[in-house]
Amino acid sequence: MVRRRAVIRLSGTRARTLRRASLLLASFLVLLPFLFPFAWMVMGSLKSQVAYTAYPPVWTFRPTLDNYEKVFTTGHFGLYALNSTIVAGAATIIALLLGIPAAYAVARYRLTWVGLLLLVARMAPLIAFVIPLFVLYAKLHLVDTYTGLVAAHLLITLPIVVWMMVGFIEALPREIEEAARLDGAGAVGLLWRIVVPLTAPGIAAASILSFIFSWNNFLVSVVLSGYHTKLLPVGIFNFLGYESINWGPLSAAASIVTIPVLALALVAQRYIVRGILSGGLLG
Amino acid sequence: MLAPASRLGYARSRAQGGVQGKRRFAGDRYAAWLLPLPAALVTAVLIVFPIAFLLYMGFCQWFFESASTWRWVGLENYIALVTDSRFVGALWHTLYFAALGLVIQIPLGILIALLFHQEFPGRGLMRTLLLLPMVATPVAMALVWVMMLDPGMGVIRYLLGTIGVASPAWLSNPNTVIPTLVMVDSWEWTPLVALMCLSGLAALPTEPFEAALLDGASPWTRFWYLTLPMLRPTLVIAIVFRVIDLLKVVDIIYVMTRGGPGFSSETLNVYDFFVGLFYYQIGYGSAIAVVLFALVLGVTLLLMRVRRATW
């Protein structure tokens, strides 16, 4: 690497600038198809009916918020958004309460069986859980309840929290814990006063990720939710009529569902790949 | 280090009495299984019980919503699968989807990683933006893709038209529907492969590359004989994770085609969704879920074994 840089420097700064500019251009071109659907979604959500039914597609238009208004005035999109927030939020909080102690045990007491079970949950198709839960919930009258949905969403959030937190806890220097232990801290005190404060950034990242993937999940809510507890990924279907697709409202609904998640993801960007690999995304 | 130290002091002052000392001993001894106990209970209820119940149901015949009672049928469900042409078709579609997805996503991911590994201004921002497809709500983005791929008014038809390429029928032709779905899945997940490879590349030692440069090795030689072999552990993990998720993909297929046209894009997961949760054949649906689970587990273990044998 060092030598190559030297060679380039010999041929002058102009060559280096050229190289950087071409790399920038190339990566922009690579990124374009990955970002275009987002741009098209947001553009579509701001188009009037005349504009979104036009062919060839129009690229410049007078933006309007009509579609967003339609999304919230027809149907119960606001309720779905509230439901999604409640379920993803509760599933994340409960996963933190259960998952942090478990992660500590996995990291410090070599309790690998808990980790292995959660790894199986990572590999299993979600439908293998959803069918038995569906039968069970019908018996227990848990279909279309927040309790039932949150419990099922723990299948998504708990593995994310445990596996991410195992990583963060293992990275803590053991000396601090040993010192606290010598000073008489019990396991719970140790966890609450030492481990939780020291892994706070990790906890924040794990919370954001588990919220995102709970929010995004489709299969659980399509099966186990009902009229009162419908979540956004299912609710968005209402805008997909089969004869004529209402593209404007559909784009607005898709934007409302997606944009909060994208914003959260940008906050937690450093941890996302790690989180996804650690056990998120059942599907 | 100040904050933890003061907390230590607090812990010390609390632990002066003998009672606390005893409690500490007890706590230490039981902490190993007390701490994970809540999570273990939840895991047992949410993971072990459903899987056990699923295995049991796979040997039964039961229709949800009718007066039908559980009937033990042994292996009947599994035997019926062999002659169920819709199941066999779904199995092939699943394997085709996964294979095509891997063939596209892994090489493309490596290429993107190689590009983004270079030094240029704005690289960090570009890497961050690459994250967006994989965290966006799949159902919402699948609907946006349906919109863009519309054979009549879709923007993709228009864009291809401007460069003189005739747009295929995408989702409405049985021959192009799976490749189209793979394209959408690749849009979503190739960035993950790229980001994994990027962190793999960042961890590579620089000495072999410097030596190769001194020897006048071409970029291609350096890539093929140095980068790729050293990147292998990362690639294996990427392949394992992508295979697991490609075999189980359900939401984008359900949203975009519902397995159609006909059954031409119906994968095991989608078929099972219909059998178990639309036709309410709980026993048969459970058997399909068991097969899918076994398939994912089997492929994963096979890949792990290959990995151990080669490295």
HEC sequence for A156-189: HHHHHHHHHHHHHHHCCCHHHHHHHHHCCCCHHH
Contact state of B147 with A245 under an 8 Å Cβ cutoff: yes
Write the pLDDT tens digit of every residue in A186-245.
Answer: 777 888 888 898 888 889 989 999 999 999 999 988 888 888 888 999 888 767 755 567
Examine residue A187 and state whether it is found in any structural domain, yes or no.
Answer: yes
| C-alpha to C-alpha distance for B21 and B33, rounded to whole angstroms | 20
| C-alpha to C-alpha distance for B2 and B14, rounded to whole angstroms | 19
Res A226: pLDDT: 81
- Chain B contact for A250 (CB, 8 A cutoff): yes
Residues 56-115 of A with CB under 8 A from B: 56-57, 97-99, 101-102, 104-106, 109, 111, 114
- Helix ranges, B72-84 (H): 76-83
- Chain B contact for A226 (CB, 8 A cutoff): no
Of the candidates B220, B195, B165, B168, the residue with the CA atom closest to the CA atom of residue B105: B195
Of the candidates B232, B102, B53, the residue with the CA atom closest to the CA atom of residue A139: B53
| Residues of B in Cβ contact (< 8 Å) with A166 | none
| Residues of A in Cβ contact (< 8 Å) with B68 | none
| C-alpha to C-alpha distance for A59 and A40, rounded to whole angstroms | 9
Res B46: pLDDT: 83
Asked if residues B178 and B97 have their Cβ atoms less than 8 Å apart, the reply is yes
- Cα A221 to chain centroid, rounded: 15
Residue A105 sits in the same domain as residue A16? no
Q: From B270, which residue of chain A is nearest by alpha-carbon distance?
A: A127
**Domain, as residue range, for A191:** 75-277
Q: Judge residue B5's burial from the number of C-beta atoms within 10 Å of its C-beta, 0-12 exposed, 13-18 middle, 19 or more buried.
A: exposed
Res A76: pLDDT: 83
- Closest approach of A74 to chain B, Cα-based (Å): 18
Helix (H, G, I), strand (E, B) or coil at B131: coil
| C-alpha to C-alpha distance for A149 and B28, rounded to whole angstroms | 35
Residue A253 sits in the same domain as residue A190? yes
Residue A30 sits in the same domain as residue A110? no
Q: From A181, which residue of chain B is nearest by alpha-carbon distance?
A: B24
Mean pLDDT of chain A: 84
Res B132: pLDDT: 93
Domains contained in chain A, number: 2
Mean pLDDT of A153-180: 85
Q: Determine if the peptide bond prior to B261 is cis (ω within 30°).
A: yes
Taking each helix axis from N to C end, the angle separating B18-34 and A77-108, rounded to the nearest 10 degrees, works out to 110
- Indicate the Cα dihedral angle A267, A84, A234, A164, nearest 10°: 50
Residue A102 sits in the same domain as residue A213? yes
Examine residue A65 and state whether it is found in any structural domain, yes or no.
Answer: no
| Residues of B in Cβ contact (< 8 Å) with A44 | 144, 147
Asked if residues B105 and B193 have their Cβ atoms less than 8 Å apart, the reply is yes
Nearest to B35 among A101, A154, A233 (CB): A101
Examine residue A204 and state whether it is found in any structural domain, yes or no.
Answer: yes
Looking at domain B76-139+176-310, its CATH superfamily turns out to be MetI-like (1.10.3720.10)
Mean pLDDT of A22-41: 92
Nearest to B136 among A154, A247, A258 (CB): A258
Q: From B208, which residue of chain A is nearest by alpha-carbon distance?
A: A1
Q: From B250, which residue of chain A is nearest by alpha-carbon distance?
A: A283
Mean pLDDT of A74-92: 91
Q: Regarding beta strands B60-61 and B71-72, do their DSSP bridges make them parallel or antiparallel, or are they unpaired? A: antiparallel
Examine residue A105 and state whether it is found in any structural domain, yes or no.
Answer: yes
Asked if residues B145 and A37 have their Cβ atoms less than 8 Å apart, the reply is yes
Residue A124 sits in the same domain as residue A231? yes
Residue B204: CB partners within 8 Å, gap ≥ 6?
A: B227, B230, B231
Residue A240 sits in the same domain as residue A186? yes
Residue A20 sits in the same domain as residue A114? no
Read off the tokens for A200: 């706070």
- Closest approach of B244 to chain A, Cα-based (Å): 6
pLDDT of residue A80 exceeding 80: yes
Res B169: pLDDT: 86
Res B11: pLDDT: 40
Contact state of A154 with B46 under an 8 Å Cβ cutoff: yes
Residue A33 sits in the same domain as residue A136? no
* DSSP result, A51-76: HHT-SSPPS------HHHHHHHHSTT
Expressed in percent and rounded to 5, the helix, strand and coil fractions of chain B are 75, 0, 25
Read off the tokens for A22: 């071409």
Residue A139 sits in the same domain as residue A13? no
Contact state of B158 with A183 under an 8 Å Cβ cutoff: no
As a whole-number percent, the residues of chain A with pLDDT over 90 amount to: 29
Contact state of A105 with B27 under an 8 Å Cβ cutoff: no
DSSP state of A12: -
Examine residue A53 and state whether it is found in any structural domain, yes or no.
Answer: no
Residues of chain B with pLDDT under 70: 1-33, 65-68, 308-311
| Residues of B in Cβ contact (< 8 Å) with A158 | 39, 42-43, 46
Contact state of A180 with B38 under an 8 Å Cβ cutoff: no
A vs B: CB pairs below 8 A:
318
Nearest to A269 among B14, B131, B152 (CB): B131
| C-alpha to C-alpha distance for A23 and A8, rounded to whole angstroms | 15
Of the candidates B247, B251, B229, B253, the residue with the CA atom closest to the CA atom of residue B295: B247
Res A241: pLDDT: 59
Residues 114-173 of A with CB under 8 A from B: 114, 117-118, 120-136, 138, 151-152, 154-155, 158, 162
Asked if residues A160 and A279 have their Cβ atoms less than 8 Å apart, the reply is yes
Of the candidates A220, A223, A247, the residue with the CA atom closest to the CA atom of residue A71: A247
- Count of CA atoms in the C-beta half-sphere (13 A) of A16: 13
Helix (H, G, I), strand (E, B) or coil at B61: strand
Helix (H, G, I), strand (E, B) or coil at B71: strand
Of the candidates A274, A217, A44, the residue with the CA atom closest to the CA atom of residue B131: A274
Examine residue A22 and state whether it is found in any structural domain, yes or no.
Answer: yes
* DSSP result, A119-146: HHHHHS-THHHHHHHHHHHHHHT-TT-H
Indicate the pTM of the whole model. 0.86
Helix (H, G, I), strand (E, B) or coil at B261: coil
Sole residue written with tokens 């593209």: A247
Contact state of B276 with A134 under an 8 Å Cβ cutoff: yes
Q: Work out whether the CA dihedral B292, B294, B295, B300 comes out positive or negative.
A: positive
| C-alpha to C-alpha distance for B87 and B73, rounded to whole angstroms | 19
Number of Cβ atoms within 10 Å of the Cβ of A126: 25
Residue A31 sits in the same domain as residue A83? no
Sole residue written with tokens 């002066």: B16
Beta bridge partners of B281: B63
- Closest approach of A146 to chain B, Cα-based (Å): 16
Nearest to B214 among A3, A30, A44 (CB): A3
Length of chain B: 311
Q: What are the boundaries of each domain within chain B?
A: 76-139+176-310
- Chain A contact for B251 (CB, 8 A cutoff): yes
- Chain A contact for B138 (CB, 8 A cutoff): yes
- Chain B contact for A23 (CB, 8 A cutoff): yes
Res B271: pLDDT: 93
Asked if residues A227 and A144 have their Cβ atoms less than 8 Å apart, the reply is yes
Examine residue A70 and state whether it is found in any structural domain, yes or no.
Answer: no
Helix (H, G, I), strand (E, B) or coil at B66: coil
- b/e map A113-122, b = 16+ CB within 10 Å: ebbebbbbbb
- Count of CA atoms in the C-beta half-sphere (13 A) of B90: 30
Sole residue written with tokens 């947001």: A42
DSSP state of B72: E
Q: Residue A41 belongs to what H/E stretch?
A: helix A13-45
Q: What CATH number is attached to the domain comprising A187?
A: 1.10.3720.10
Examine residue A47 and state whether it is found in any structural domain, yes or no.
Answer: no
Write the pLDDT tens digit of every residue in B128-185.
Answer: 899 899 999 999 999 999 989 988 888 898 898 888 888 888 998 899 999 999 999 9
